[in-house]
Amino acid sequence: MLTAVAFLGPLAAHAFLRYALLGGLLVAIPCGLVGSYVVIRRISYIAGAISHSVLAGLGLVQYLRVVHGVTWLSPLGGAAAAALVSAMVIGWVSLHLRQREDTVIGAVWAVGMAAGVVLISLTPGYAADLMSYLFGNILMLTPRDLILIAALDVAVLLVVALFHKQLLAVCFDDEFASLRGVRTTRYHFLLLGLTALTVVVLVSVVGIIMVIALLTLPAAMANHLTRRLSHMMAVAALLCAVLTVAGLALSYGPDLPAGAVTILLTGALYFATALIRRR
């Protein structure tokens, strides 16, 4: 608690901390909304594969920028492209070769990582970035990143407001939804696309490896506290905001990695609530 209060001083002094704080609050919206869909649709492992494949996109952009001088490419754009491509590959394969879905998830997961590692090793002088990709660095958020995250927030809110009925029905019982004329495949891909974009913004906060925990654990906790999806989303977003900000505040004083501290807090809360429920 003392650490958190002590955080207010530096917060007033440093712009990068204010960006980090705002970033943490902004990612909470897609984290809560899309994380809830991921949990109820049981696609956390797809989210995991998407997040790891992001390294390929980040590596490719870095490689092209440094080695070939393509400076207009942004890492975030590369990450988004890689995430969307891997989401669509998994979606397509699970649609056409249903029984092989888990194998494909594993393949996308590892191949994305491997491609990223190779591309980064081919890029002179940028190995240090690997750490911030893998473990996140909320302190490096720029105003431009914040604008992109805010734009994604608006997009996610809009999609959920417009298609909530269909998305809920597809997650609950997609066979029934398709019998009622809902194009379930289209909504499945929409959900995968939303998941991919959400993963990309969360990567900037907690990094590729830990995204899956921030995406799913607040939603899983919210699932036990609520009885309707809209409430679950609101509680998950709130938990995500609180945990991200707490992770930032608690890590700043002792100079610990903010992403890892956020995940430790999230995990601790998740296991504590699970234990309390068991009693």
Partner 1 sequence: MRRWRHGSVNTVLAFHDLDFGYDGRSVLRGVNLAIPAGDFVSVVGPNGSGKTTLLKLALGLLKPTAGEVTVFGEKPERARHRIGYVPQHAQLDPLFPVSALDVVLMGRLGLGPSLGPWRRRDQDAARAALAEVGLSEHADRHFAALSGGQKQRALIARSLAGEPELLLLDEPTAGLDALIEEGFFRLLETLNRRLTIVMVSHDLGFVAGFVKSVICVGHKVVVHPTSAITGQVIADLYGADMRLIRHDHRCSEEGHQC
Cβ–Cβ contacts within 10 Å for residue 109, how many? 20
Rg (CA), the chain: 19
Segment near partner 1 (CB under 8 A), from 1-9, 61-69, 101-109, 222-230? 222-230
**What whole-number distance in Å separates Cα of residue 16 and Cα of residue 205?**
13
Contacts of partner 1 in 10-39 (CB under 8 A)? 36
- Contact between 277 and partner 1 by CB under 8 A: the answer reads no
> Any residues with CB less than 8 A from the CB of 277 and at least 6 apart, and which?
224
The pattern of x and - marking residues 181 through 210 that bind partner 1 according to CB under 8 A reads: xx----------------------------
Residue 207 near residue 259 (C-beta atoms within 8 A): yes
For residues 74 and 273, which CB has a smaller minimum distance to partner 1 in the complex?
Answer: 273
Q: Which DSSP helix (H) or strand (E) runs through 52? A: helix 44-68
For residues 100 and 231, which CB has a smaller minimum distance to partner 1 in the complex?
Answer: 231
- Contact between 89 and partner 1 by CB under 8 A: the answer reads no
Closest approach, Cβ 224 to partner 1, in A, equals 8
Closest approach, Cβ 56 to partner 1, in A, equals 33
**What whole-number distance in Å separates Cα of residue 60 and Cα of residue 238?**
34
Which residue from 214, 262, 248, 201 is spatially nearest to 54, judged by alpha carbons?
201
Residues near partner 1 (CB under 8 A) are 36, 40, 42, 161-166, 168-169, 171-173, 175-182, 223-224, 226-229, 231-232
